[in-house]
Structures are given as structure tokens and as C-alpha cells.
Structure 1
Amino acid sequence: MFKKILLLFILLFLVGCKATKPVIITTKKVPVKPKSQVVNTTKKPNIAKPLYAKPEKQEQNNQETEVIVSTSKTVVTNEVIKAYISQFKDIAMGNMKNYGIPASIILAQGILESGAGVGDLAISANNHFGIKCHEGWTGESVRHDDDSEQECFRKYNYPSESFKDHAIFLTGRSRYAKLFALQKGDYKAWAKGLRTAGYATDPRYPDKLISYIERYNLHQYDNQVLDVNYVSNEKQLVEELTLETKKSKREDLALYEVQKGDTFYSISKKFNLMVDELKRINNLSNNILSIGQKLIVK
């Protein structure tokens, strides 16, 4: 009996202890990510720097810029002048063969007189040599300030016509006859002779031409022509040029407007010409034709 009472007492004591002991609940603490603080900031846009800005600037700095003053004031770079030479060197060499004017002189005058093709007269009238109307000119013309206000200058449909007229202009005037007696390819004598004959009033005209010839090695085109069966008889050349000029003045040039589907071959057949002759009389060196282009077909 005593044992039962003791056992009951122990049980009650244990139950009482459990009732008074605080219950501790253990849970695994999950790490709480700190709240991201919202800050109103403006993120700088990631603007990529232009990849070619610096090289372009360097390229521009490497280009020589000069002011060409003739019938207008034109600012050009050496790249513009090189492009001009590349475009018209074949015509210049063709005129040297046909008329006896050094290709280097033709190109140098073209650069100077036309501002390398971007001068006012070159743009508005395809006039690359500053040739004024003069007595007897019956073609189109434009007015332009030069030595005097609103002087009359010749206007052409294409630059090639200007190059051909420049050759006819020099060969058809007696004041330039002495130039054709000079040694072939003597660009310095030609430059000085043009000034003496009255082509330009600028006393530095010869120096400017010579400068362009030597800076851009234009004399190489004279050498190319001189190496290919060039006429060496001075007297015969002058006589032939005089006859050709007179013949050109007598004959009215027939023009043909290029139509869709035309080729050099079809046009040459239509007017009983050889393709090479058709190109030669139009001062053309490639096979490109454009609709509306006017060709001399005699």
C-alpha cells in the first residue's frame, strides 16, 4: 500500500514539473534576405562610343586641305584632287595623243580652273577650264563674276565636251602656236608659255600648274603617251592640228540622244561608225551609257 502511495506521489510530482516547465518550440531559422532598398536613381545609359570617330578624325587630319582660287574660291582636300585625276586622266592622255597638249598640263589646268571639279563653273556649266564665251561662241553660256562682274562663260552638257573644247581652243588660236613647237612633255615650258600667251593674268599661274604636276606626279601620263607611237614631227603635227581645227569649225556636229537599250555597238552601226571612233570623238574611255546622254555622231 505504501509503495502505491509513493509511486502516485512521484507521478504527480513529475506531472507538476512538466506543467510548470515552459514549452520551447525550436524551429530552424530560415535566413531572411534583407529587403532590397528601393533607391530612385537614374542609371546612366550605356552609350557606346562611335567606333570610327577617332579614325575618321585622324584621317581628316592626315588629309591636306587647300584653297584653290581661280574663277571661284574652292576648298578641297588632296583626296578630292586625286579622285579628279583618276576620273579624267584617260581623257587627258587621249587629248595629248590627238592634239599634242601634254596630259600633265591638261590635268593641272583642270584642277586649278575647276577647283578639282567642285568649283562653281564646273558644277553649273561643266566648264573645267574657265573658258569664256569669246567672239564666235554659239553654244550655251552662263554668267559668272571673274575679272569683271557677270562675265560670259561657256556651258557644256558634259565635262568631256569641256576637255575637247579646251584642246580646240588652244590649237585654233595663233597665239598658242609656239607651244606646239616645244619639246613633248616639257610641262614647265608649257606652263610658262600659257601665261605668256595670255591664258591667265595671274603671274603665279605657271608656278601653280607646275606645283600640281610635281605634287601629284602628273608627268607620268605624259610619259605613257610618249612611249606609244607619238608623233615626233613638230611641223607636221602643227599643220595637222590646224587642219583638224578648221574642219571642226566648218562641220556642224550631229548629236544623238541615247535611248533605252542602246549600246555603243548599236549606235555605231546606226551611224556607220566604228565603236572605237565613236568613243574617241566623245572622249569616252569606258562602256557606260546613260539614257538621255548626248553623243557626237558627226
Structure 2
Amino acid sequence: MRKIVLVFCLAAVVFSCKSKKQVVTKKPHKRTEHVARKQKPAEVEKHQEPEEVKPAPKVFASSTEAYIYNYHETAQQEMALYGIPASITLAQGILESGSGKGRLSVEANNHFGIKCHGWKGAKIYHDDDADQECFRKYKDAKYSFRDHSLFLSERKRYSKLFDLKKEDYKGWAKGLKAAGYATDRKYPDKLISLIERYKLYLYDEAVLGDKYVTYDMPTVQSGQTYTVEKGDTLYGISKRFNLTVEQLQKINGLRGTALSIGQVLVVEP
């Protein structure tokens, strides 16, 4: 009996010791912070930002209209600074440069046919009144416009022009010829025709604002209108609306028969 009790006691001691033993295991600490994965160039998402939509290029009916669009702001700035009507500057630029297509304007950025006259800058030689005459050459067309303003404002022979009203583009056109700017006797008529055909006087009006006073402008009466299309002629339009060419010219204040696509004509007196 004593042996049985002793065995029981030993078994109890052994069982007690085993239960007290603890196995200590360290669990790895889980990192909760997120590590950003580096993207390789090939992994960068395409079109992360919407592509900029470029406006469609502006289409013009003629090189003259493109010229006016490109340089009207420059002409207006020169008018604000030097008092030369933007309409005159634009008309001269169109005429002298062939709407920006002439050799002097393309190769020398010279839009006004200004000759050297003691010029110390770059030069270009071109046949004009005589063979291989010297003309001024500019780095940018804007310098040609500025030199045009200085050319007129700093020379005494053009001083009378600045006594004229800024709205009087006809007076300016005739005054340029009288002062010797061009040798072509029809020079004033060509300038005036360009100004009236393309309504360049509107750029003068924009600069002058409230100070602008209508001065001998074409009188356009109210009535039915017609927009000029490709292939139209003044004669054809006059016949279509039972008018004579002279009547159509008078109604719209036209001097010649030239028309431009998109031009609006009054066809009913």
C-alpha cells in the first residue's frame, strides 16, 4: 500500500513540474508601415494627366488676312506710342511686304521697304528704284514696325502728318506720298483701298476708344446683305440683286471692284 502511495506522489510531482515549464517564443514584430514601391520608368502609368487639347490652326482666306491677324496688335501698340494710325501702318506693311511674302520681309524682316540711310545695323541688297539698293535688316519683324514709327516721327518732312486727325487715314495716305515716302503716284489710292476693303480703320477706333470720331468713312445703309463667296464678282452680285455696279459701290462705299471672301455687302438700298 505504501508503495502505491509513493508512486502516486512521484507521479504528481513530475506532472506538476511539467506544467510549470514555459516555452518562450518571440513572434516576429509585424511592421505596419507601408513602404512605397519604387516605380520603374516603364511602370509609370500612362496619361496620368489629361493631354492638353491644342486649338485647331486658324484658316485664312488669303495671305493678306493672315498678315492682318498676325500684326494688327503690333500696329495698334505703335499707334498708342507714336500716334501713327494702325490702319496706315497695316496698309503700308501689306503693300510694301506683299502681305509678308516679299523677299525683304522674308529674308530681312523689313516690312516697310526702309532703305539704309546711314543705318549701322545688318543690311540686305535688293533691286528697287535702282539695282542692288541697300535696305535695313532686322532680327524680328517687331523691330521693323518700331523703326517705321521712328522713321516717320523723327523726320521733319513727315511732321505735317502728325497734325492730322488719327481717324483721317485718307489724309495720312496722301501725306505720305507728298512727303516722298513712295514714288508710285497711286500709292495713296492703294493704301486707302486696302484700309476700306479690310476695314482697317476699326483698329484705329479700338485704340482711340471714346476719342474716336468718324471721319469720312464709307456710308453703309441698312438693308438686305450678302456675304461674298469664292468666285463672286461685283458685277455678278449686282446682276443678282438687280443693281448696277455703280449702285452697289455707292451703297457700300466701295472705290474699286475688288472683293474678299466673307465680305458683307448691302444689296438693298
Bin the TM-score by the shorter chain. 0.5 to 0.7
Question: Residue deviations 1:237-273, cap 9 Å, x none?
Answer: xxxxxxxxxxxxxxxxxxxxxxxxxxxxxxxxxxxxx
Report the secondary structure of 1:116's partner residue.
Answer: coil
Q: Name the structure 1 match of 2:87.
A: 104
Residue 139 (structure 1) aligned with residue 130 (structure 2): no
Q: Name the structure 2 match of 1:150.
A: 132
Name which of 193, 207, 225 aligns with 1:211.
Answer: 193
Report the secondary structure of 1:183's partner residue.
Answer: coil
Cα distance, 1:228–1:95 mapped onto 2, change above 3 Å: farther
Question: Residue deviations 1:64-90, cap 9 Å, x none?
Answer: xxxxxxxxxxxxx95110000000000
Across the two proteins, how many residue pairs are aligned to each other? Answer: 153
Q: Name the structure 2 match of 1:44.
A: none
Q: How does 1:145-294 map to 2 (within 5 A)?
A: 145-227=127-209
- Aligned counterparts of 1:80 and 1:118: Cα–Cα separation in 2: 8
Structure 2, gaps ≥5 residues long: 1-59, 213-269
TM-score by length of 2: 0.55
Q: Name the structure 2 match of 1:87.
A: 70
Shift of 1:137: 1.1
TM-score by length of 1: 0.50
- Aligned counterparts of 2:103 and 2:95: Cα–Cα separation in 1: 12
- What's the RMSD between the two structures over aligned residues? 1.4
Cα distance, 1:192–1:229 mapped onto 2, change above 3 Å: closer
Shift of 1:200: 0.1
Shift of 1:185: 1.4
Cα distance, 1:78–1:191 mapped onto 2, change above 3 Å: farther
Shift of 1:209: 0.2
Shift of 1:184: 1.7
Question: Residue deviations 1:113-167, cap 9 Å, x none?
Answer: 0000010100110000000001x31110000000000000000000000000000
Q: Name the structure 1 match of 2:48.
A: none
Question: Residue deviations 1:28-75, cap 9 Å, x none?
Answer: xxxxxxxxxxxxxxxxxxxxxxxxxxxxxxxxxxxxxxxxxxxxxxxx
- Aligned counterparts of 2:94 and 2:203: Cα–Cα separation in 1: 15
* 1:93 partner letter: Q
Structure 1, gaps ≥5 residues long: 1-76, 231-298
* 1:97 partner letter: A
Residue 121 (structure 1) aligned with residue 104 (structure 2): yes
- Aligned counterparts of 2:139 and 2:119: Cα–Cα separation in 1: 15
Report the secondary structure of 2:104's partner residue.
Answer: helix
* 1:128 partner letter: H
Cα distance, 1:197–1:188 mapped onto 2, change above 3 Å: same
- Aligned counterparts of 1:159 and 1:126: Cα–Cα separation in 2: 5
Q: Name the structure 1 match of 2:240.
A: none
- Aligned counterparts of 2:165 and 2:142: Cα–Cα separation in 1: 26
- Aligned counterparts of 2:211 and 2:201: Cα–Cα separation in 1: 18
Report the secondary structure of 1:142's partner residue.
Answer: strand
